Amino acid sequence: MTDRYAVFGNPLGHSKSPIIHARFAAETGEDLTYGKVEAPVDGFEAALRQFIAGGGSGCNVTAPFKLEAFALATAMTPEAAMAGATNTLRFTDGGIEAHNTDGVGLLADVERILRAPLRGKRALMLGAGGAARGAVLPFLDAAPAAFVMINRTPSKAQAIRDELLAAGHHGLSLADFDTTDRFDVVINATSASLTGECPAIPSRAFEGCELAYELAYAKGLTPFLSRARDADVRTLADGVGMLVGQAAVAFEWWRGVRPTIRNLIETLSIPLERPARQLP
């Protein structure tokens, strides 16, 4: 019997998830279909329940439903609990299980595709929203020498640190860093690039930097990436690799097999005069 999966969101005209998962299914030989459910903004739960009743096996969740999906979960992974949001659900006889694959997908792109292992390195995360929260545990597990998070509203970053300390996790620095510090990896998890702005970046953050990573994708050379380019950062990347990477993690969580991602990332990357994704 063919299993059914889908992505829930509103709007969904831009979604590449059906293309990605169709490729994964073809590569792995998994018997499944993957569609789109553009649920009404005030009708996510009803649409999800209908999908489950119709035999759905799992789904991805995108804006604006990640928090609502999280609230409906009856069980969750540590990554989802830390993020406070979910982008991946699977359905069992016991209820709805939630996962957050964004951080693991980002780490896979950084370390496996862009070849910038974090062990012993200094990493800086700009922003403390849902995407940044989802990356915290995977990044700490990668054993960087330092993982610093800064945010325009410091209390949001402090709340993440407090949650980590309460759970027994250490290693995330917030206010206790020097603005002249240098970093090996700098990741922009703010929404600044969506409005054509550049987030606040410590003055020497890009000196000797190996990788500047923009979570937004298909936006070209954003102000953040332009500044990194001008600082001679070795590798520039946008979030298309995270998009494919998080989908691969979700696929493995559902099906027990991990598809390959490099060729699909290259297929979905938009060639530009000055590409936003420069592979090393």
Burial pattern 146-185, b for ≥16 Cβ within 10 A else e, equals bbbbbbeeeebbebbbebbeeeebeebbbeebeeebbbbb
Residue 135: φ, ψ to 5°: -90, -15
Take residue 171 and report the two structure tokens written for it: 């290693």
Catalytic residue among 66, 121, 156, 219: 66
Sequential DSSP letters for 90-137: EEETTEEEEE--HHHHHHHIIIIIS----TT-EEEEE--SHHHHHHHH
Q: Calculate the alpha carbon distances from 219 to 76, 193, 215, 233, 256 in Å.
A: 32, 8, 10, 19, 33
Distance CA 86, CA 77 (A): 10
How far apart, in whole angstroms, are the C-alpha atoms of residue 156 and residue 242?
Answer: 23
Largest CA distance in the chain: 58
Q: Where are the alpha helices (DSSP H) in the chain?
A: 17-28, 44-53, 66-72, 78-83, 102-108, 130-141, 154-166, 223-230, 240-255, 262-268
> Is-catalytic flag, 66?
yes
Give me the torsion for CA of 248, 253, 259, 264, rounded to 10°. Answer: -10
Which of the residues are catalytic?
66
